[in-house]
Amino acid sequence: MVYSKNIIMKKLFLPIAICSSFLLFAQQIITKSIISFNTHERNAKTVLFEQQDLDHNTNFLLKAENKSSKDFTKCKWITSLSQDQLIYFIDVLENLEAGSSVESRLFNFMYKKNKIKIHIKDSRCTSEHKTYYFQESCKRRLSFVILEGDKSEITSALKQVLREIEYVRK
């Protein structure tokens, strides 16, 4: 009787393995880079926008990291944005005028002297490094500065991706 259970289990193992592998491949996350740029500030960062597709759901990732130096600790940030949040980000960045600032629950934008400072409110350092004497986890939030000339390149790349998404859905 024990022998027949082992044979049955061996015969069932292959179909179960095949079905589970199809399920894993069916829910594959596809990530595509949109635009990457370096910021213009003392603590320069590399910022990357990515498109992440899972089935028919599209999210956008805002990733950033700075380099380690004697003045700064290396940090990494990852923030997920919905399509509506990305549209809002593009709209505010595109229509921001010199000397103005915009504050929302997601972002802060400040435009001074041909520089735009962007502060992402819902972001925390993900490097899991410790700071100061009491070994607290790093809680730095993401902020970066772009120049006025970079603004149009960034918004056009992000708009192009949104147009492609709308075209595919039609």
Q: What residue ranges in the chain does DSSP mark as E strands?
A: 29-38, 45-54, 57-66, 76-81, 101-103, 107-112, 115-120, 130-131, 136-137, 143-147
pLDDT tens digits, one per residue of 41-68: 888 899 999 998 877 788 899 999 987 7
According to the model, what pLDDT value does residue 7 have?
66
Of all residues in the chain, the percent with pLDDT exceeding 90 is: 35
Q: What is the pLDDT of residue 34?
A: 87
Residue 116's pLDDT is 93
Predicted confidence (pLDDT) at residue 163 exceeds the cutoff of 80: yes
- Tell me what pLDDT residue 48 has: 94
Q: Which domains does the chain have, with CATH numbers?
A: 29-169 (2.30.31)
Q: Which residue has the higher pLDDT, 109 or 167?
A: 109
Q: What is the reported pLDDT for 9?
A: 61
Residue 140: name the closest of 130, 149, 150 by CA.
130
Tell me the sheet residues that pair with 125. 77
Highest mean pLDDT pick, 28-32, 130-134, 139-143: 139-143
Cβ atoms of 53 and 79 closer than 8 Å: no
Contact 78, 63 (CB under 8 A): yes
User: Looking at residue 140, what DSSP letter applies?
Assistant: P
- Determine the 3-state secondary structure of 164 from DSSP: helix
Edge-to-edge order in the sheet of strand 45-54: 29-38, 45-54, 57-66, 76-81
Q: Is the pLDDT of residue 2 over 60?
A: no
Instruction: List the beta bridge partners of residue 146.
Output: 116
Q: Are 168 and 59 in contact (CB under 8 A)?
A: no
Q: State pLDDT tens for residues 71-104.
A: 777 888 889 999 999 999 999 999 998 899 999 8
